[in-house]
Amino acid sequence: MRYGLVVFSISLSISGAFGQVAVGTYLQQVASASDTAPAELTAPRKMGGLEARGDGLFENGTRLLPRAGGRSWAPVDVKAAAYDSQGRLWFCSPQGLGMRDGAKWSLWTSEDGMPWDECTALAPAPDGSVWLGTTRGAIRFDGARWEYRQGRRWLPDDDVRAVWVDASNTAWFQTAKGVGKIQSVPMTLAEKAKYFEDEIDRRHRRTEYEYVLEVRLDKAGDKSKWTQHDSDNDGLWTSMYGAGECYAYAVTKDPKAKERAKKAYEAMRFLWQVTQGGTPAAPKGFVARTVLPASAGDPNATAYTPEKDRKMQATRDRMWKVMNPRWPKSADGKWYWKADTSSDELDGHYYFYALYFDLVAKGDAAEEARVKEHVAALTDHIVDHNFQLVDHDGKVTRWGAFNPEELNFNFMWADDRPLDSFSILAYLKTAEHVTGDRKYAAAARRLIEKHGYAINTMMNKHYGGAGAGNQSDDEMAFMMLYNLLRYETDPVLRSIYGVTLRRRWEVEEPELNPVFNYLAGAVLKGMTYQDSHSTDQLELDGAWLEESADTLRRFPLDRMSWRMTNSHRKDIRLLNRETARGARKDGRVLPIDERYVNHWNHDPWRLDQGGDGRELASGASFLLPYYMGRYYGFLKD
């Protein structure tokens, strides 16, 4: 078997295990032109008197009329039927999937979670599950859990004509564009983490400072050639990668994890150093969004011009800044750095700095001093500029206002008021913790006591039902509330921040996001909130631990941006009459291996995701929750 891209849809994809195993994975191997399809895949099946016919389901000449509870079917247009190794009878028809065990029938439809019912083929597996071929992908069902396999991540083509499962439980598919197979391969979560770390080391480290980001493949599905690029949020994504390596070092004490965390810190530190000096120079302490080597050419020449800024301001965002240059040059002439840094980056910086200081630098006096200097410079910049991030043009960045004049009195910031309130409070609390300087506590007290910033944090995010809001803001909110609750000692403030985080988590719970779950679960453990009427438990409840572990089990190793199409499925409900967004009928979003995820700020409610298979995301989105889960004991090795 060859991996790569040859002839049609050849890809390597690993995702979560089926059934109740503790850890594991599934490996997709789509057969190449050199593979020979098993003869059993398309050979006529002998079914021992069982007939799947247009006029019904027949056994030894007798038409079967299945009945289970309140369901009674007279199946027609039966597409496939078979006996499994346990002697159970399976069949599929437009009405759904049926199984007879002895004299007892079980009947399943989309109301029970069946994703698609245009069945074309059926094959029982030795492990007791059954695979279905359909007109739009393949389905595995083990009697309790449905797994939908659609798109180039899983199949050469969605039009499945035949299915066969061999003695090793490997499922083979004849499709309109060739033969594919999906086989079970055991893998621990730790092995999955190592796979991702090796992949990041191989492809995803940009510049000598090693900013971690997705890459663009020269050819869809072929990882042999790629091109690196920058993004607006290099600081945020590298911070979240570095945070995962901080947890990794705390758990494993692996020197390689420490080295990776330190490299991430150096990359973040450089975003501060590169802005100092040069023409124009940023104010002291300012951090850039990202950097590009000057040798690659001037990004201001065509892609980032004042004319384009004015168009953005006129058509999409009236608060957008018109800047010239948007990419200043460093003092040594070696780098262009991107200005107009946003609160997304700042939240990532402070989340990472705190973890790096506590879990990696601690005990190394020289390294502790470097982190203190770095955090103090950035925080002093914000405080000295009236709680704002001020750019090289002397003006606040588009998303850099945290001062009461804007947040409390400018209606343009109304939606951002709670988020920006606890962001600035988290910056100050983190700076106080890292530097030991009480001036940051004094600044926070001013905002809390004179301007009501703690109460601001209790304002609910915009909520119009499941799926409402903005996941980028949610990601920022959870990171900053995590920092606040880790370092705040005032019981009243802790209670305020705790109830704020709990309320936000209740909105996010159906999204099956292990980062949000673990951040909240770590700091809300044992917490309560008491008001004049009652005392409420803030500690997380429900199935969040199991759901988080399941997301990590099912997290695909295939990080290519294959198109994942789910809007046609019959097991979903649309949100608020939207045709593009929905969830399963239990209110949960689709499992992670049935959608494309790059970073955790993606919209998990969007039913059709992904692209042309040429974007190759890194595995940093797995590493952060995995190592955080290990650190807090939510996961066992």
Q: List pLDDT tens digits, range 207-227.
A: 999 999 999 999 999 999 999
CA atoms within 13 A on the CB side of 168: 10
Dist CA 398 CA 127 (whole Å) = 56
pLDDT bucket at 57, cuts 50 / 70 / 90: very high
Q: What's the confidence (pLDDT) of residue 24?
A: 35
The DSSP result for 27-58, as a single string, is EEE---TT----HHHHSPPP-TTEEEETTEEE
Query: What confidence score (pLDDT) does residue 463 get?
Result: 60
Tell the burial category of 194 from Cβ atoms under 10 Å away from its Cβ (0-12, 13-18, 19+): middle
The CATH 2.130.10.10 portion of the chain extends over: 12-187
The percentage of residues in the chain with a pLDDT greater than 70, rounded to a whole number, is 93
Give the number of other CB atoms < 10 A from CB of residue 112. 15
Residue 478: both structure tokens together: 């959870």
pLDDT tens for each residue of 61-81: 999 999 999 999 999 999 999
C-alpha angle 45-75-60 in degrees, rounded to nearest 5: 50
Rounded to the nearest 5 degrees, what angle is found at the Cα of 191, between the Cα atoms of 25 and 208?
120
Tokens 């509330």, located at residue:
481
How much is the CA Rg of the chain, to the nearest whole Å?
A: 27
CA-CA distance, 268 to 613, in Å (whole number)? Answer: 30
The C-alpha atoms of residue 2 and residue 11 are separated, in whole angstroms, by: 9
Query: CA-CA distance, 107 to 249, in Å (whole number)?
Result: 50
pLDDT in tens, 575-599: 877 779 999 999 999 999 999 999 9
pLDDT of residue 36: 67
pLDDT at 520 over 90: yes
- Alpha-carbon distance 419 to 476, whole Å? 8
Nearest by Cα to 504 from 489, 516, 522, 492: 516
- pLDDT at residue number 45: 67
Query: What is the SS3 assignment for 313?
Result: helix
- Residues 6 or more apart from 3 whose CB is under 8 A from it? 10, 11, 12, 29
Query: Residue 257 in contact with residue 248, Cβ under 8 Å?
Result: yes
Residue 33 has pLDDT above 80, yes or no: no
Residue 377 has a CB neighbour count (10 Å cut-off) of 16
**What CATH architecture applies to the domain 12-187?**
7 Propeller (2.130)
**For residue 185, what pLDDT is reported?**
85
Rounded to whole angstroms, the Cα distance separating 86 from 144 reads 17
Does residue 26 come out as left (phi exceeding 0), alpha (psi in the -120 to 50 range) or beta? beta
Residue range 104-139, pLDDT digits in tens: 999 999 999 999 999 999 999 999 999 999 999 999
Q: Is the pLDDT of residue 369 over 70?
A: yes
HEC profile of 155-201: CCCCCEEEEEECCCCCEEEEECCEEEEEEEECCCHHHHHHHHHHHHH
Strands 160-165 and 146-149: unpaired
| pLDDT at 509 exceeding the cut of 80 | yes
Q: What are the phi and psi torsion angles at 178 (to 5°)?
A: 125, -175
pLDDT band at 330 (very low <50, low <70, confident <90, very high): very high
H or E stretch covering 343: helix 343-356
pLDDT of residue 17: 29
Least confident of 357-371, 403-417, 566-580: 566-580
Between CA 598 and CA 609 the distance in angstroms is: 10
Is residue 43 very low, low, confident or very high in pLDDT (cuts 50, 70, 90)? confident
Is the confidence at residue 518, as pLDDT, over 70? yes
**Overall pTM > 0.85:** yes
The SS3 assignment for 302 reads: coil
Give residue 159's identity as a one-letter amino acid code: D
Q: What crossing angle do the helices spanning 620-631 and 189-203 adopt, rounded to 10°?
A: 140
pLDDT over 90 (residue 466): no
Phi, psi of 308 (to 5 degrees): -70, -35
Asked whether the beta carbons of 141 and 132 are under 8 A apart, the reply is: yes
